[in-house]
Amino acid sequence: MLWLFLGLGAAVGDAGADVLTKRYFSQLSPYAMSLARLLFALPFLVLAALFISRPSLDRTFWVVVAAMLPLEVAATLMYMRALKVCHLSLCLPFLAFTPVFMIFTGWVLLGEGLNRWGVMGTIFIASGSYILSLGTGQPGFWAPLKALARESGARLMLAVAAIYSFSAALFKLAILHSEPVFFGVTYPLVFTGLMLTGYPLSQVQLGQTLRFRPGWGVVLGFFIVLSILSLAQGIQLAPATYLIAVKRLSLLMSVLLGGLWLKERPFLPRLLGAALMCTGVGLIALRG
C-alpha cells in the first residue's frame, strides 16, 4: 500500500504546483511559466543530486530518455498555455483521461495488464472528473465535451493527457532500467537544461521571471519536486496506470482550491464528482 501514499503525495504536489502557477505566474508567457516551475525546483534537485549514486545504465535507458524529452517539451508548453488561458476547473479535469489512455499504452509499452476492478476504478476516476466539469456554467450533461469545441485550454489539456499516457509509461520503463531516486532527480535536471536551450531565442527576461514571486516560487519548486520524487518511488511498486490514476486526484484538489482560493465559480456542482473519484481510488487500492 506504500504506492498508494506515494501516489497521493504526487497528487498533492501536482495540485499545489498548478494552483500556485495559475495564481501567481499565469501573467507570464507559457514558456516563461515552464521555466519558472523548472528553475524554482532546481535548487531542491541539485541538493538531492549530491546524495545519490549513478547506477549502471543500459542502451534501453538512453533510448527511452531520448523518446521522452520531445514529448515532455510539447506537453509542458501546452500545459502552461492551458493554465494561462483557461480556468483550472475547466481544463484540468481532462487530465483524468491520462490513466484511461494508459490502459492501452501501459499494456503496449510495459506489458501491464489490469484486472477488472482496476479498469473499473480507473474509469470511475475519469468519470468523476467529467462530472466535476459539469459545473462550468453551461447546462447539460454534454457541457464538458462542448467545452472542447469552445475552449482552447480544454483541447490543449486533452492533448496533454494523451502525451502523458505515453511519457508516464516511458517514465516507468526508464526507472526499471535505472533507479527511482536517480531518475527522479536527474531527468528533471536534463529536461531543465533542454528547456533552457530555447531561452536565447525567446523574449523572456529570466531575472525578471525569477524575481516575479520568489517566495511563492520556492513553495512552487517544493511541490514540483514532491510530485516528481513521489511518482518515481511509487511507479515501480504498482502498475503505472494505477499510480497515475491516484495521482490524478490532484484534479479534485485543484478544483477545490480553484473554487476556495481563486474564487472560480460555479463551485458546488463540481463537488459531485468527488465521490466517484474516491470510489475509483478505493477500488484500485483494495481490489486492483
Residue range 212-229, pLDDT digits in tens: 678 889 999 999 999 999
Annotate 239-260 with b (16+ C-beta within 10 A) or e (fewer). bbbbbbbbbbbbbbbbbbbbbe
**Angstrom distance (rounded) from CA 111 to CA 108:** 6
Model confidence at 97, pLDDT cuts 50, 70, 90, reads confident
- Dihedral angle over CA of 174, 175, 177, 182, nearest 10: 110
Over the stretch 99-155, which tens digit does the pLDDT of each residue have? 888 888 988 888 887 788 888 887 887 777 667 655 555 555 666 666 666 778 878
The three grid cell numbers given for residue 287, joined into one nine-digit string: 481490489
Q: What is the per-residue pLDDT across 150-201, written as a single tens digit (0 to 9) for each?
A: 778 878 988 999 999 999 999 999 999 999 999 999 999 999 999 999 887 7
- 81 pLDDT more than 80: yes
Helix and strand element counts for the chain (H, E) = 14, 0
pLDDT of residue 125: 74
At residue 248, does pLDDT exceed 80? Answer: no
On the question of a cis peptide bond just before residue 266, with omega within 30 degrees of 0, the verdict is: yes
The pLDDT value recorded for residue 91 is: 77
- pLDDT for residue 5: 92
Q: Is the pLDDT of residue 1 over 90?
A: no
Name residue, grid cell 535505472.
178
* pLDDT above 70: residue 268: no
pLDDT number for residue 10: 93
Q: Is the pLDDT assigned to residue 66 strictly greater than 90?
A: yes
Which residues lie closer than 8 Å to 149 by C-beta, 6 or more apart?
none
Average pLDDT of span 45-50: 93
pTM: 0.83
pLDDT of residue 132: 64
Q: What is the pLDDT of residue 25?
A: 85
- What is the pLDDT at residue 24? 86
pLDDT score for 114: 77
